[in-house]
A and B are shown apart, each in its own frame.
Chain A
Amino acid sequence: QKEVEQDPGPLSVPEGAIVSLNCTYSNSAFQYFMWYRQYSRKGPELLMYTYSSGNKEDGRFTAQVDKSSKYISLFIRDSQPSDSATYLCAMSASGGSNYKLTFGKGTLLTVNP
């Protein structure tokens, strides 16, 4: 079993839809949970991060972490064509091991106008 599992999709939705992206993980030492967004022919950029369990909201984006289930989610409300990208979840332990990010494979999202 890989440390981080992410459905690669692709996922295609109409503009305005609510999008749910998910990852599961097996390493209970993970404390930081991140979502990176990668546009075509670009490097990944950090979209949101959460420390330990809970929810975090930023505009149309909400990140959720359920450590008891080892499950994280990213919700996108009122999705826009500009949200079309690959979304990568990433996780790390805290302290001295925080340098090592473990990435999911990424989910390719297309939002159709």
Chain B
Amino acid sequence: DADVTQTPRNRITKTGKRIMLECSQTKGHDRMYWYRQDPGLGLQLIYYSFDVKDINKGEISDGYSVSRQAQAKFSLSLESAIPNQTALYFCATSDAGVGNNEQFFGPGTRLTVL
């Protein structure tokens, strides 16, 4: 089984709809991250969490919110989706005790907002 899983893998929604992307991990890591990936822009950090009670905004948090339900679960919500949020979304985890902060990525969710 995959260590970092994301659901759904693909989602098409309409402008104004609320949508939640979910991430679960079995690696036992404390740190979890949400990124979006756009062609030509690379990976951009949306939110990150060091533990259940420590959640922080990343570079591009506007229009997004997150919830860390447990050490293993980190959800990303788009309260009112807009077309420029169409992108590939990745969840990642890392072990706080590792110096290089190697991040382990999930398979991604392809989101299309019409």
Contacts and interface: CB of A to CB of B under 8 A. Distances in A.
A42 B108 contact: yes
B105 interface: yes
Given A103-B42, A105-B42, A43 B101 contact: no
Contact of A98 (B92, B100, B104): B100
Given A32-B99, A99-B31, A99-B101, A43 B40 contact: no
B74 interface: no
Contact of A105 (B41, B90, B101, B108): B41
A60 interface: no
Interface stretch (B12-20, B43-51, B60-68, B75-83): B43-51
A94 interface: yes
Contacts of B48: 99
Interface string A11-35: 0000000000000000000001010
Interface string B76-108: 000000000000001010100001111111111
Nearest to B44: A103
Nearest to A8: B40
A92 B42 contact: no
Interface residues of B, number: 22
A32 B40 contact: no
Interface in A54-113: 88, 92, 94, 98-101, 103-106
B50 to A, nearest CB: 7
A88 B43 contact: yes
B94 A99 contact: yes
A43 B31 contact: no
Contacts of B92: 43
B107 A42 contact: yes
Nearest to A32: B100
A49 B102 contact: yes
16 contacts: A6-B42, A8-B40, A32-B99, A32-B100, A34-B100, A41-B107, A43-B106, A44-B43, A45-B104, A45-B105, A51-B99, A51-B100, A101-B43, A103-B42, A105-B40, A105-B42
